[in-house]
Amino acid sequence: MSRNDWTLSPEHVDLRRPAVEPRPVEVGALPQRLTLDLSRTALVAVDLQNDFCHPHGWLASIGVDVSGAAGPIGALAAVLPELRAAGVPVVWLTWGTRPDRANLPPGVRHVYDPDGASTGIGDPLPGGSRVLQLGSWSAGLVDELVPEPADLHVAKHRMSGFPDTPLDSVLRNLRVDTLLFAGLNTDQCVYATLVDAANLGYDVVLVEDLCGTTSPGFCTDATLYNVRQCFGFTTTSAELRAGLDT
């Protein structure tokens, strides 16, 4: 039975959802220590894809140093089994654009193809894959991160994972209130999705070492400041695992 079900019979419909027992854990965080209810928490992992992290992916092919993007992969792979064992749903939120790019407005395309002649979203790469195209190697998760059958996948088409996607519906059906954020880039897609989540009423917690970026360091500093000051909280995977261990 899912977290959001009725009990049905031919003669009767029980509108009560399944009871979910609270599972509180304490986690060190900023600006204050947190108590998380694991039964109402999900992990949203953003854009941990070949085009952003792999040495043969899109960013590397256009000369971007992707070492910062690959940084959080090992830490996330280490904590995922503990989160799953604690019943925390994992949502993989990744760029996955239509082959015809019909729902991409020019502003989104311009960010990645500023002169109209560069390699942008949907364009072919030397290996034959197309940049961030749904179903392609480019848009696939990096090999080090292996989804489980119970994980959920949502394709996005903007910096934020909420516009023009089913992300909010998926999270509402999971009946979660608190979102842990991991992924790339800390100051771009992770931050944009986190801000939209906060504006929709979710509790948001950015897990610092589970996020990475190819931007300069001051971008991360500003993002962490803004998350703590305006939207939610930050923690680390060590603090999260310490809470899970108790």
CB of 186 closer than 8 Å to CB of 31: no
DSSP string, 168-215: HHHHHHHT--EEEEEEE-IIIIIHHHHHHHHHTT-EEEEEEEEEE-SS
Would you put residue 63 in left (φ > 0), alpha (ψ -120 to 50) or beta? left
Of the residues 47, 51, 187, 209, only one is catalytic, namely 47
Residue in 140, 132, 129 with CA at minimum distance from that of residue 101: 132
Of the residues 189, 196, 203, 209, only one is catalytic, namely 189
123 is catalytic: no
Of the residues 51, 53, 156, 209, only one is catalytic, namely 156
Q: How many helices (H) and strands (E) does the chain have?
A: 9, 10
53 is catalytic: no
189 is catalytic: yes
> Which sequence positions are flagged as catalytic?
47, 156, 189
